[in-house]
A and B are shown apart, each in its own frame.
Chain A
Amino acid sequence: MEPSNEDYKLIPGWGMDADPENEPTYPMKKYTGDDHNRIHYERSDQQPELVEILRSNERPAITRVFGTSVPPSGFSGMIRRYAFQHSEDRYRHWIPLILADRINMLEGLIEDFKKGQIPNIIKERGLAVEWKHNRAGLIRKAVAVTLASLVLVSLFKRKK
């Protein structure tokens, strides 16, 4: 049973060795005791929720401000919505989010094509600068990737 009121202060020796200077988080944290007020503190106004915001289930309400950059959408959005049903402690939260990121990359390519825009992968990967400063390394990487791809293709054909 939890002690009622401040009965715990009656426990012999209660608090007698407390040392306010012994604060291992100092100077990162200037301890004020406000932690014991938990989430009861003065807050700013609430930012209106104009787009879908996924939120951690480890807090009761949305924060007073939040980013609105890329609301969840498409198949990756469905996976993200599933992920946010689980706490930050669970694999079921993080692994679906990583999966959603990879699917989102494919969705980005499809979106480009839909707009009639062919993504310039060479430009986006900044390969010009690699060519300028690390030509031999880039060629080595290209040869390695080509060889690995050929090995995979031949293995796949053999299995068939």
Chain B
Amino acid sequence: MLAMNYRGPYRVRAVQKPVPEILHPEDAIIRVTRTCICGSDLHLYHGMVPDTRVGSTFGHEFTGIVEEIGPLVQKLKIGDQVLVPFNIACGKCNFCKQGLFGNCHESNPMATAVGGIFGYSHTAGGFDGGQAEYVRVPYADVGPTVIPAEMDPDDAVLLTDVVPTGYQAAEMGGIKEGDTVVIFGAGPIGIMAARCAWFFGPSRVIIIDHIDYRLEFAKNYAKCEAYNFKEMEDPVVFLKKTTDWYGADVCIDCVGCEAEGNTLQTFSGRVTLLQAGAATALQWAINSVKKGGIVSVVGVYGPPFNLVPFGNIVNKGITIRANQTSVKRLLPKLIDHVMSGRLDPKGLITHRIPLEEVSEAYRLFSSKLDNCIKTVLIPSAKH
């Protein structure tokens, strides 16, 4: 089968690999119909995530058709069209039972801090991902969800990560009616977080980034205010001023470890890797939120640590809320939002590229060329 293949930082190619096999009685093999490149895949692509081995196949956002099932799989049948949450969850451990499907304790032997994630390094379990024609899906009765017949396949693939992560980012913010919400990062997740924030009743949603075409897109798609931090002397002062010198009620970090905007953070986090990426967005979130405010974090940070102004968290009494998204928990509500037309996930897609051209697709997304917001890879022309 054709599959994306990692060769080292900034180098990927499409290669032929063996079709995956059932390795556990609760496995399914899925023939992939759509798969996306996620912003967090770029952290792998840029060599930022430890234990990313040459030969791995990335891809944690995918839909497909059930091709084969293990003997204990009961809820899926061959031929079902499914969307597959990015996190691998057993459904039985204490964390899964409490709705923390992103923190499963039975899917990743290589680290205890993170559950298994498809195609996201050996730090997240060493699973091959969905940027391939076929993928092995463990615990097939738990994660995969049959796509409603009327749902557009492009909407379905974005329900595997982008929509739930954007939604959970807003949900964790504990947004109250009338709040001012600031979102750092106008990538697909940030844009979706801005759109989903409105579900919780704020009076203002502000998005901050430095790429004009993305800010323009966010303004139109998420009906929010959008500002370029490179056009302001100090984004924290700007946000204080625009909130009557009070601070935002809720700040959301949708950037993670590859932020721009602070020389010291960039040098220590991205150039020298002395910390796990540049925590600029998190720093701004902590310093822009009001006293007693909430900072929600869905941006990806790698191990082992980041430099953030922790003293300000204590002194301001800030609540930090963060987690890998519990896709499975959120799917029923989000499928309803999509089917009723309240959310338009496919509106984020700007590029559809055959899997054969995966190298170009990664470069396009990584370098933010051709006004790229979201790239979908199509494994085979027949889909």
Task: Identify the A interface with B (CB < 8 A).
Answer: 24-25, 27-32, 34-35, 37-39, 41-45, 47-48, 50, 53-56, 58-59, 62-70, 72, 76, 80, 83-84, 88-89, 91, 93-94, 97-98, 100-102, 104-105, 107-108, 119-121, 123-130, 132-134, 137
A–B pairs, 9, beta carbons within 8 Å? A56-B110, A66-B109, A67-B116, A69-B57, A69-B122, A101-B47, A105-B7, A123-B359, A134-B367
B25 at the interface (CB under 8 A from A): yes
B112 and A58 contacting across the interface, CB-CB below 8 Å: yes
| CA gap between A43 and B139 in the complex, in Å | 11
Q: Which residues of B contact A41 (CB under 8 A)?
A: 92-94, 97
Closest Cβ–Cβ distance, residue B294 to chain A (whole Å) = 10
Interface of chain B residues 212 through 257 with chain A (CB within 8 A): none
B128 at the interface (CB under 8 A from A): yes
B94 and A48 contacting across the interface, CB-CB below 8 Å: no
Question: Nearest 9 pairs between A and B by C-beta?
Answer: A126-B363, A67-B126, A105-B8, A67-B127, A108-B54, A133-B369, A97-B50, A70-B53, A65-B138
B172 at the interface (CB under 8 A from A): yes
A105-B109 contact given A41-B93, A126-B360, CB 8 Å threshold: no
A70 and B54 contacting across the interface, CB-CB below 8 Å: yes
The residue of chain B having its C-beta at the shortest distance from the C-beta of A55 within the complex is: B109
| Listed stretches B9-17, B77-85, B155-163, B335-343; interface member | B9-17
The residue of chain A having its C-beta at the shortest distance from the C-beta of B23 within the complex is: A47
Q: Which residues of B contact A29 (CB under 8 A)?
A: 98-100
| CA gap between A91 and B128 in the complex, in Å | 26
Closest Cβ–Cβ distance, residue B95 to chain A (whole Å) = 8
B109 and A56 contacting across the interface, CB-CB below 8 Å: yes
Q: Which residues of B contact A59 (CB under 8 A)?
A: 109, 112
Q: Which residues of A contact B94 (CB under 8 A)?
A: 32, 34-35, 37-38, 41
- Besides A63-B109, A65-B116, A88-B303, 20 new A-B residue pairs in contact (Cβ under 8 A), listed by A number: A28-B99, A28-B172, A35-B98, A41-B97, A44-B90, A45-B24, A47-B24, A53-B110, A56-B109, A56-B112, A65-B106, A80-B51, A89-B304, A101-B53, A102-B47, A104-B8, A107-B54, A123-B13, A124-B7, A126-B364
Closest Cβ–Cβ distance, residue B85 to chain A (whole Å) = 15
B24 and A65 contacting across the interface, CB-CB below 8 Å: yes
B111 and A88 contacting across the interface, CB-CB below 8 Å: yes
Closest Cβ–Cβ distance, residue A36 to chain B (whole Å) = 9
B122 and A67 contacting across the interface, CB-CB below 8 Å: yes
| CA gap between A45 and B55 in the complex, in Å | 28
| CA gap between A107 and B24 in the complex, in Å | 31
Q: Which residues of A contact B99 (CB under 8 A)?
A: 27-30
A32-B303 contact given A24-B319, A101-B50, A134-B367, CB 8 Å threshold: no
B327 at the interface (CB under 8 A from A): no
| CA gap between A55 and B107 in the complex, in Å | 12
Closest Cβ–Cβ distance, residue B88 to chain A (whole Å) = 7
Q: Which residues of A contact B126 (CB under 8 A)?
A: 53, 66-70
Q: Which residues of B contact A54 (CB under 8 A)?
A: 109-110, 122
Q: Most chain-B Cβ atoms within 10 A of its Cβ — which of A67, A119, A127, A129?
A: A67
A32 and B112 contacting across the interface, CB-CB below 8 Å: no
Q: Which residues of A contact B105 (CB under 8 A)?
A: 39, 63
A44 and B26 contacting across the interface, CB-CB below 8 Å: yes
A28 and B363 contacting across the interface, CB-CB below 8 Å: no
The residue of chain A having its C-beta at the shortest distance from the C-beta of B48 within the complex is: A98
Q: Which residues of B contact A126 (CB under 8 A)?
A: 12, 359-364
Closest Cβ–Cβ distance, residue A93 to chain B (whole Å) = 8
Q: Most chain-B Cβ atoms within 10 A of its Cβ — which of A32, A47, A63, A76?
A: A63
Closest Cβ–Cβ distance, residue A57 to chain B (whole Å) = 10
B128 and A64 contacting across the interface, CB-CB below 8 Å: no
B1 at the interface (CB under 8 A from A): no
Q: Which residues of B contact A88 (CB under 8 A)?
A: 111-113, 303-304
